Chains A and B, each alone.
Chain A
Amino acid sequence: MKSNRIINIVLSVIFIIFLILIINKKFGGGNVRYNNSSNLINVEDIKDLYVVNFTWNGIAEKYNEKNDKKVDNYIKYESVIEAKINAEDINNNIKIENKKYIITLPKIELVPKIIIKNDSFSFIPENSSLDLKELLNICEEDAIKEAQKNKELIKIAKENAKNTIEGLLLPITEQNNYKIVWKEDK
Protein backbone atom coordinates (compact mmCIF):
# COMPACT_ATOMS: atom_id res chain seq x y z
CA MET A 1 0.00 0.00 0.00
CA LYS A 2 1.13 3.54 -0.72
CA SER A 3 1.11 4.80 2.88
CA ASN A 4 3.15 1.79 4.06
CA ARG A 5 5.76 2.45 1.39
CA ILE A 6 6.05 6.12 2.37
CA ILE A 7 6.49 5.24 6.05
CA ASN A 8 9.12 2.67 5.09
CA ILE A 9 11.04 5.21 3.01
CA VAL A 10 10.92 7.88 5.76
CA LEU A 11 12.13 5.45 8.42
CA SER A 12 14.94 4.23 6.17
CA VAL A 13 16.10 7.81 5.45
CA ILE A 14 16.09 8.68 9.17
CA PHE A 15 18.04 5.52 9.91
CA ILE A 16 20.64 6.32 7.24
CA ILE A 17 21.06 9.86 8.63
CA PHE A 18 21.68 8.54 12.13
CA LEU A 19 24.02 5.86 10.82
CA ILE A 20 26.10 8.56 9.14
CA LEU A 21 26.10 10.58 12.38
CA ILE A 22 27.33 7.55 14.35
CA ILE A 23 30.10 6.82 11.84
CA ASN A 24 31.13 10.49 11.80
CA LYS A 25 31.17 10.65 15.58
CA LYS A 26 33.21 7.45 15.84
CA PHE A 27 35.78 8.32 13.22
CA GLY A 28 36.00 12.02 14.05
CA GLY A 29 35.65 15.16 12.02
CA GLY A 30 37.95 16.68 9.44
CA ASN A 31 41.15 18.72 9.86
CA VAL A 32 41.66 20.55 13.16
CA ARG A 33 43.62 23.81 13.31
CA TYR A 34 44.67 25.92 16.29
CA ASN A 35 45.76 29.48 15.64
CA ASN A 36 46.88 31.60 18.57
CA SER A 37 48.53 34.96 19.10
CA SER A 38 49.85 36.88 22.08
CA ASN A 39 50.91 40.54 22.23
CA LEU A 40 52.31 42.53 25.14
CA ILE A 41 50.06 45.53 25.81
CA ASN A 42 51.02 46.89 29.22
CA VAL A 43 53.54 46.59 32.08
CA GLU A 44 52.75 47.60 35.66
CA ASP A 45 54.96 47.94 38.73
CA ILE A 46 54.16 45.78 41.74
CA LYS A 47 55.90 45.13 45.04
CA ASP A 48 54.80 41.71 46.26
CA LEU A 49 56.61 38.99 48.15
CA TYR A 50 55.29 35.52 47.29
CA VAL A 51 55.86 33.08 50.14
CA VAL A 52 53.89 29.90 49.45
CA ASN A 53 52.59 27.86 46.50
CA PHE A 54 49.62 25.66 47.30
CA THR A 55 48.87 23.10 44.59
CA TRP A 56 45.24 22.05 44.67
CA ASN A 57 43.61 19.51 42.33
CA GLY A 58 39.92 19.38 43.07
CA ILE A 59 36.41 18.81 41.78
CA ALA A 60 34.08 21.79 41.50
CA GLU A 61 30.31 21.66 41.01
CA LYS A 62 28.12 23.82 38.85
CA TYR A 63 24.62 23.93 40.29
CA ASN A 64 21.42 24.29 38.32
CA GLU A 65 20.16 27.88 38.29
CA LYS A 66 16.57 26.90 39.00
CA ASN A 67 17.27 24.11 41.47
CA ASP A 68 20.32 24.80 43.62
CA LYS A 69 20.42 21.22 44.92
CA LYS A 70 20.88 19.75 41.44
CA VAL A 71 24.40 19.58 40.01
CA ASP A 72 24.54 20.25 36.25
CA ASN A 73 28.28 19.78 35.81
CA TYR A 74 31.21 18.31 37.71
CA ILE A 75 34.58 19.82 36.81
CA LYS A 76 37.91 18.25 37.73
CA TYR A 77 40.54 20.99 37.65
CA GLU A 78 44.12 21.85 38.64
CA SER A 79 45.09 25.05 40.40
CA VAL A 80 47.89 26.79 42.23
CA ILE A 81 47.06 29.18 45.05
CA GLU A 82 49.81 31.64 45.81
CA ALA A 83 50.16 33.38 49.18
CA LYS A 84 51.76 36.82 49.12
CA ILE A 85 52.33 39.97 51.16
CA ASN A 86 52.89 43.56 50.10
CA ALA A 87 56.66 44.05 50.37
CA GLU A 88 56.33 47.82 50.75
CA ASP A 89 54.19 47.39 53.87
CA ILE A 90 56.97 45.59 55.76
CA ASN A 91 58.76 48.76 56.80
CA ASN A 92 55.51 50.71 57.22
CA ASN A 93 54.67 48.78 60.39
CA ILE A 94 57.91 49.02 62.33
CA LYS A 95 58.37 49.92 66.00
CA ILE A 96 61.75 50.40 67.62
CA GLU A 97 61.96 49.66 71.37
CA ASN A 98 65.03 48.89 73.44
CA LYS A 99 67.11 47.59 70.58
CA LYS A 100 64.16 45.60 69.32
CA TYR A 101 63.08 45.86 65.71
CA ILE A 102 59.41 45.10 66.12
CA ILE A 103 57.65 44.17 62.89
CA THR A 104 53.94 43.59 62.26
CA LEU A 105 53.68 41.08 59.45
CA PRO A 106 51.55 42.45 56.57
CA LYS A 107 48.35 40.56 55.80
CA ILE A 108 48.68 37.33 53.80
CA GLU A 109 46.69 37.44 50.57
CA LEU A 110 45.67 34.33 48.61
CA VAL A 111 45.77 34.45 44.80
CA PRO A 112 44.14 31.52 42.95
CA LYS A 113 45.43 30.57 39.50
CA ILE A 114 43.56 27.93 37.51
CA ILE A 115 45.94 25.88 35.37
CA ILE A 116 44.79 25.80 31.77
CA LYS A 117 46.71 23.20 29.80
CA ASN A 118 45.92 20.03 27.89
CA ASP A 119 44.26 17.52 30.23
CA SER A 120 44.11 19.84 33.22
CA PHE A 121 40.31 19.68 33.01
CA SER A 122 37.82 16.84 32.95
CA PHE A 123 34.05 17.17 32.81
CA ILE A 124 30.97 15.19 33.73
CA PRO A 125 28.93 15.14 31.58
CA GLU A 126 31.65 14.92 28.93
CA ASN A 127 29.76 17.22 26.54
CA SER A 128 29.58 20.09 29.02
CA SER A 129 29.36 23.48 27.28
CA LEU A 130 30.35 25.97 29.98
CA ASP A 131 31.60 29.42 29.11
CA LEU A 132 35.33 30.02 29.80
CA LYS A 133 34.57 32.89 32.24
CA GLU A 134 32.01 30.79 34.11
CA LEU A 135 34.42 27.84 34.26
CA LEU A 136 37.18 30.02 35.77
CA ASN A 137 34.78 31.56 38.31
CA ILE A 138 33.50 28.18 39.51
CA CYS A 139 36.98 26.66 39.82
CA GLU A 140 38.51 29.72 41.51
CA GLU A 141 35.73 29.87 44.08
CA ASP A 142 36.19 26.19 44.86
CA ALA A 143 39.99 26.50 45.09
CA ILE A 144 39.87 29.51 47.42
CA LYS A 145 37.30 27.81 49.65
CA GLU A 146 39.58 24.79 50.01
CA ALA A 147 42.65 26.98 50.61
CA GLN A 148 40.89 28.95 53.33
CA LYS A 149 39.96 25.72 55.10
CA ASN A 150 43.63 24.77 55.17
CA LYS A 151 44.99 26.34 58.38
CA GLU A 152 48.39 24.81 57.74
CA LEU A 153 48.67 26.90 54.57
CA ILE A 154 48.32 30.26 56.32
CA LYS A 155 50.61 29.13 59.14
CA ILE A 156 53.36 28.07 56.71
CA ALA A 157 52.87 31.25 54.65
CA LYS A 158 53.37 33.44 57.74
CA GLU A 159 56.43 31.46 58.88
CA ASN A 160 58.05 31.63 55.48
CA ALA A 161 57.27 35.34 55.10
CA LYS A 162 58.99 36.00 58.43
CA ASN A 163 62.00 33.88 57.42
CA THR A 164 62.39 35.71 54.12
CA ILE A 165 62.11 39.17 55.71
CA GLU A 166 64.55 38.24 58.46
CA GLY A 167 66.96 37.04 55.77
CA LEU A 168 66.89 40.52 54.22
CA LEU A 169 67.02 42.45 57.51
CA LEU A 170 69.49 40.44 59.60
CA PRO A 171 72.72 41.70 57.93
CA ILE A 172 71.73 45.22 59.02
CA THR A 173 69.99 44.60 62.35
CA GLU A 174 72.59 42.16 63.66
CA GLN A 175 75.45 44.51 62.91
CA ASN A 176 73.65 47.20 64.91
CA ASN A 177 72.79 44.79 67.73
CA TYR A 178 69.09 44.88 67.09
CA LYS A 179 66.84 41.91 67.65
CA ILE A 180 64.00 41.26 65.23
CA VAL A 181 60.73 40.71 67.06
CA TRP A 182 57.43 39.86 65.45
CA LYS A 183 54.51 41.71 66.97
CA GLU A 184 52.39 38.63 67.57
CA ASP A 185 55.33 36.99 69.41
CA LYS A 186 55.60 39.87 71.89
Chain B
Amino acid sequence: MEEEIKTEEEIKVAEEDKKLETAKEIEEKTNKNKVIFDIKKYIIPIILLVITLVVIIIPSKKIDIIKKFEYSKIKKISKLATIEAYYHNVATKEQDASTLGKIMFNHGYKKYWVEYEGKVTFGVDAKKIKIDGPNSDGVVKVSMPEGEIIGKPNIIKEKVQKPITDTGFLTSISTKEKTEAVSLAQEKMEECAKNDVELLELSREKAKKLIEKFIAETGKNIGKEYKVEFID
Protein backbone atom coordinates (compact mmCIF):
# COMPACT_ATOMS: atom_id res chain seq x y z
CA MET B 1 0.00 0.00 0.00
CA GLU B 2 2.75 2.46 0.99
CA GLU B 3 4.53 1.64 -2.23
CA GLU B 4 1.40 2.44 -4.21
CA ILE B 5 1.01 5.87 -2.47
CA LYS B 6 4.65 6.70 -3.22
CA THR B 7 4.13 5.82 -6.81
CA GLU B 8 1.03 8.02 -7.01
CA GLU B 9 2.98 10.94 -5.51
CA GLU B 10 5.77 10.33 -7.89
CA ILE B 11 3.36 10.30 -10.76
CA LYS B 12 1.88 13.61 -9.60
CA VAL B 13 5.35 15.22 -9.38
CA ALA B 14 6.29 13.83 -12.74
CA GLU B 15 3.10 15.21 -14.27
CA GLU B 16 3.72 18.63 -12.72
CA ASP B 17 7.31 18.63 -14.05
CA LYS B 18 6.00 17.77 -17.47
CA LYS B 19 3.51 20.63 -17.32
CA LEU B 20 6.33 23.03 -16.37
CA GLU B 21 8.55 21.82 -19.22
CA THR B 22 5.73 22.20 -21.74
CA ALA B 23 5.00 25.71 -20.48
CA LYS B 24 8.69 26.64 -20.79
CA GLU B 25 8.88 25.20 -24.31
CA ILE B 26 5.81 27.14 -25.35
CA GLU B 27 7.30 30.37 -23.88
CA GLU B 28 10.60 29.87 -25.73
CA LYS B 29 8.85 29.21 -29.02
CA THR B 30 6.76 32.33 -28.58
CA ASN B 31 9.88 34.42 -27.92
CA LYS B 32 11.62 32.96 -30.95
CA ASN B 33 8.64 33.77 -33.10
CA LYS B 34 8.61 37.28 -31.70
CA VAL B 35 12.31 37.81 -32.67
CA ILE B 36 11.84 36.33 -36.14
CA PHE B 37 8.80 38.43 -36.64
CA ASP B 38 10.75 41.64 -35.68
CA ILE B 39 13.70 40.94 -37.99
CA LYS B 40 11.27 40.48 -40.87
CA LYS B 41 9.92 43.93 -40.16
CA TYR B 42 13.38 45.53 -40.56
CA ILE B 43 14.87 43.31 -43.24
CA ILE B 44 14.03 45.59 -46.19
CA PRO B 45 15.40 48.84 -44.72
CA ILE B 46 18.53 46.97 -43.53
CA ILE B 47 19.17 45.57 -47.02
CA LEU B 48 18.65 49.03 -48.57
CA LEU B 49 21.05 50.55 -46.04
CA VAL B 50 23.71 47.96 -46.76
CA ILE B 51 23.39 48.53 -50.52
CA THR B 52 23.70 52.31 -50.03
CA LEU B 53 26.76 51.88 -47.84
CA VAL B 54 28.41 49.66 -50.42
CA VAL B 55 27.68 52.14 -53.22
CA ILE B 56 28.83 55.31 -51.47
CA ILE B 57 31.22 54.66 -48.66
CA ILE B 58 33.23 51.58 -49.47
CA PRO B 59 35.61 52.53 -52.32
CA SER B 60 36.46 50.03 -54.97
CA LYS B 61 40.04 48.88 -54.40
CA LYS B 62 39.99 45.96 -56.78
CA ILE B 63 42.38 46.50 -59.65
CA ASP B 64 41.98 43.84 -62.29
CA ILE B 65 44.68 44.71 -64.76
CA ILE B 66 47.31 47.37 -64.70
CA LYS B 67 49.01 47.85 -68.00
CA LYS B 68 52.09 49.99 -67.84
CA PHE B 69 51.37 52.65 -70.40
CA GLU B 70 54.56 53.83 -71.95
CA TYR B 71 54.91 56.37 -74.64
CA SER B 72 58.20 58.06 -75.36
CA LYS B 73 59.43 60.31 -78.08
CA ILE B 74 62.87 61.87 -78.46
CA LYS B 75 62.97 65.12 -80.40
CA LYS B 76 66.12 67.03 -81.32
CA ILE B 77 65.99 70.74 -80.58
CA SER B 78 68.54 73.57 -80.54
CA LYS B 79 67.34 76.32 -78.26
CA LEU B 80 69.61 78.91 -76.69
CA ALA B 81 67.97 79.90 -73.40
CA THR B 82 68.95 83.30 -72.04
CA ILE B 83 66.40 84.29 -69.38
CA GLU B 84 64.15 82.65 -66.83
CA ALA B 85 61.04 84.59 -65.78
CA TYR B 86 59.53 83.81 -62.38
CA TYR B 87 55.82 84.26 -61.75
CA HIS B 88 53.76 84.28 -58.58
CA ASN B 89 50.55 82.37 -59.29
CA VAL B 90 47.33 81.80 -57.40
CA ALA B 91 45.09 78.90 -58.42
CA THR B 92 41.59 78.53 -56.97
CA LYS B 93 38.63 76.21 -57.39
CA GLU B 94 35.31 76.96 -55.69
CA GLN B 95 32.21 74.83 -55.86
CA ASP B 96 28.86 75.62 -54.22
CA ALA B 97 26.66 72.95 -52.70
CA SER B 98 23.61 72.03 -54.78
CA THR B 99 20.09 72.71 -53.43
CA LEU B 100 19.94 69.17 -52.06
CA GLY B 101 23.47 69.44 -50.73
CA LYS B 102 22.62 72.60 -48.79
CA ILE B 103 19.99 70.58 -46.90
CA MET B 104 22.63 68.01 -46.08
CA PHE B 105 24.95 70.34 -44.10
CA ASN B 106 26.51 71.82 -47.26
CA HIS B 107 27.48 68.50 -48.82
CA GLY B 108 29.30 69.19 -52.11
CA TYR B 109 30.61 72.65 -51.11
CA LYS B 110 34.36 73.00 -51.53
CA LYS B 111 37.07 75.64 -51.84
CA TYR B 112 40.68 75.09 -52.80
CA TRP B 113 43.24 77.94 -52.92
CA VAL B 114 46.94 77.50 -53.58
CA GLU B 115 49.84 79.93 -54.15
CA TYR B 116 52.98 78.87 -55.95
CA GLU B 117 55.83 80.12 -58.16
CA GLY B 118 56.19 79.13 -61.77
CA LYS B 119 59.00 79.62 -64.27
CA VAL B 120 59.03 80.35 -68.01
CA THR B 121 62.22 80.10 -70.07
CA PHE B 122 62.90 82.53 -72.92
CA GLY B 123 65.57 82.40 -75.64
CA VAL B 124 66.13 81.94 -79.35
CA ASP B 125 66.20 79.07 -81.82
CA ALA B 126 69.94 78.39 -82.28
CA LYS B 127 69.31 76.75 -85.68
CA LYS B 128 68.06 80.10 -86.98
CA ILE B 129 71.21 82.00 -85.92
CA LYS B 130 73.12 82.84 -89.12
CA ILE B 131 76.82 83.52 -88.80
CA ASP B 132 78.61 85.01 -91.76
CA GLY B 133 82.29 85.75 -91.94
CA PRO B 134 84.70 86.81 -90.67
CA ASN B 135 85.55 89.21 -93.49
CA SER B 136 88.94 90.71 -94.15
CA ASP B 137 88.32 93.37 -91.48
CA GLY B 138 87.65 90.69 -88.90
CA VAL B 139 83.92 91.46 -88.81
CA VAL B 140 81.53 88.59 -88.24
CA LYS B 141 77.94 89.31 -89.29
CA VAL B 142 75.23 87.64 -87.28
CA SER B 143 71.50 87.42 -87.89
CA MET B 144 69.62 86.75 -84.68
CA PRO B 145 66.09 85.30 -84.74
CA GLU B 146 63.22 86.64 -82.62
CA GLY B 147 62.93 85.75 -78.97
CA GLU B 148 60.54 82.93 -78.04
CA ILE B 149 59.38 80.82 -75.12
CA ILE B 150 61.44 77.68 -74.77
CA GLY B 151 59.77 74.46 -73.67
CA LYS B 152 56.90 74.20 -71.22
CA PRO B 153 56.41 76.42 -68.17
CA ASN B 154 57.45 74.77 -64.95
CA ILE B 155 56.21 74.75 -61.35
CA ILE B 156 58.90 75.36 -58.73
CA LYS B 157 58.05 72.61 -56.24
CA GLU B 158 59.87 74.27 -53.36
CA LYS B 159 57.69 77.36 -53.77
CA VAL B 160 54.33 75.61 -53.61
CA GLN B 161 52.59 76.92 -50.49
CA LYS B 162 50.38 74.80 -48.26
CA PRO B 163 46.89 74.99 -49.84
CA ILE B 164 43.92 76.50 -48.03
CA THR B 165 40.78 74.39 -48.21
CA ASP B 166 37.22 74.40 -46.93
CA THR B 167 34.65 71.68 -47.49
CA GLY B 168 31.08 70.76 -46.53
CA PHE B 169 29.70 67.57 -44.94
CA LEU B 170 31.26 64.37 -46.33
CA THR B 171 33.01 66.34 -49.09
CA SER B 172 36.64 66.11 -50.12
CA ILE B 173 38.84 67.68 -52.78
CA SER B 174 40.50 65.13 -55.05
CA THR B 175 43.99 65.43 -56.53
CA LYS B 176 42.37 65.64 -59.97
CA GLU B 177 40.45 68.74 -58.91
CA LYS B 178 43.63 70.32 -57.51
CA THR B 179 45.50 69.70 -60.78
CA GLU B 180 42.59 71.12 -62.79
CA ALA B 181 42.79 74.38 -60.81
CA VAL B 182 46.57 74.58 -61.20
CA SER B 183 46.45 73.75 -64.92
CA LEU B 184 44.32 76.84 -65.54
CA ALA B 185 46.80 78.95 -63.57
CA GLN B 186 49.65 77.51 -65.66
CA GLU B 187 47.79 78.43 -68.86
CA LYS B 188 47.35 81.96 -67.56
CA MET B 189 51.07 82.22 -66.75
CA GLU B 190 52.02 80.96 -70.22
CA GLU B 191 49.65 83.45 -71.83
CA CYS B 192 51.18 86.31 -69.80
CA ALA B 193 54.65 85.22 -70.89
CA LYS B 194 53.72 84.89 -74.61
CA ASN B 195 52.30 88.41 -74.62
CA ASP B 196 55.26 89.96 -72.82
CA VAL B 197 56.97 91.73 -75.70
CA GLU B 198 59.61 93.20 -73.41
CA LEU B 199 60.74 89.82 -72.14
CA LEU B 200 60.83 88.39 -75.67
CA GLU B 201 63.00 91.29 -76.80
CA LEU B 202 65.19 91.04 -73.70
CA SER B 203 65.85 87.34 -74.37
CA ARG B 204 66.95 88.22 -77.92
CA GLU B 205 69.30 90.94 -76.66
CA LYS B 206 70.82 88.54 -74.14
CA ALA B 207 71.31 85.95 -76.92
CA LYS B 208 73.15 88.55 -78.96
CA LYS B 209 75.53 89.25 -76.06
CA LEU B 210 76.10 85.53 -75.55
CA ILE B 211 76.91 84.90 -79.22
CA GLU B 212 79.11 87.99 -79.35
CA LYS B 213 81.11 86.70 -76.39
CA PHE B 214 81.21 83.22 -77.92
CA ILE B 215 82.62 84.48 -81.22
CA ALA B 216 85.15 86.76 -79.51
CA GLU B 217 86.38 83.84 -77.34
CA THR B 218 86.62 81.53 -80.35
CA GLY B 219 88.68 84.13 -82.19
CA LYS B 220 90.89 84.61 -79.13
CA ASN B 221 91.45 80.85 -78.91
CA ILE B 222 92.84 80.80 -82.44
CA GLY B 223 94.75 84.03 -82.04
CA LYS B 224 92.34 86.34 -83.86
CA GLU B 225 90.39 89.39 -82.85
CA TYR B 226 86.84 89.46 -84.15
CA LYS B 227 84.13 92.04 -84.04
CA VAL B 228 80.47 91.10 -84.23
CA GLU B 229 77.89 93.04 -86.25
CA PHE B 230 74.23 92.12 -85.89
CA ILE B 231 71.94 92.27 -88.88
CA ASP B 232 68.43 93.00 -87.68
Contact = CB atoms under 8 A, between A and B. Distances in A.
Interface of A: 4, 7-8, 11-12, 14-15, 17-25, 27-59, 74, 76, 80, 82, 84, 87-88, 90-91, 94, 96, 101, 113-118, 120-133, 135-137, 140, 146, 150, 152-153, 156, 160, 163-164, 167-169, 171-173, 175-176, 178
B49 A11 contact: yes
A164 to B, nearest CB: 4
Contacts of B107: 20-21, 24
B140 to A, nearest CB: 7
Nearest to B117: A41
A149 to B, nearest CB: 10
5 contacts: A4-B38, A29-B101, A35-B94, A49-B80, A88-B210
B93 A34 contact: yes
Interface string B42-54: 1001101100110
Interface in B78-110: 78-101, 103-104, 107-110
Contacts of B60: 125
A136 B157 contact: yes
A140 B121 CA distance: 19
A37 B77 CA distance: 31
B188 A21 contact: no
A44 B84 CA distance: 5
A59 B185 CA distance: 24
A172 to B, nearest CB: 5
Contact of A96 (B81, B179, B221): B221
Contacts of A11: 42, 45-46, 49
B52 A44 contact: no
Chain A residues touching B, majority SS: mixed
B117 to A, nearest CB: 7
A155 to B, nearest CB: 10
Contacts of A27: 98
A45 B172 CA distance: 42
Across chains A and B, which 5 residue pairs bring their CB atoms closest together, nearest first? Answer: A30-B96, A29-B108, A18-B52, A36-B185, A38-B189
A104 to B, nearest CB: 13
Given A29-B96, A101-B221, A136-B155, A34 B104 contact: no
A88 to B, nearest CB: 8
Given A11-B45, A117-B186, A51 B78 contact: yes
Nearest to B92: A35
Nearest to B156: A136
Contact of A4 (B41, B83, B211, B226): B41
B69 A38 contact: no
A36 B188 contact: yes
Contacts of A59: 66, 68-69
B30 interface: no
B6 interface: no
Interface in B205-224: 206, 210-211, 214-215, 217-219, 221-222, 224
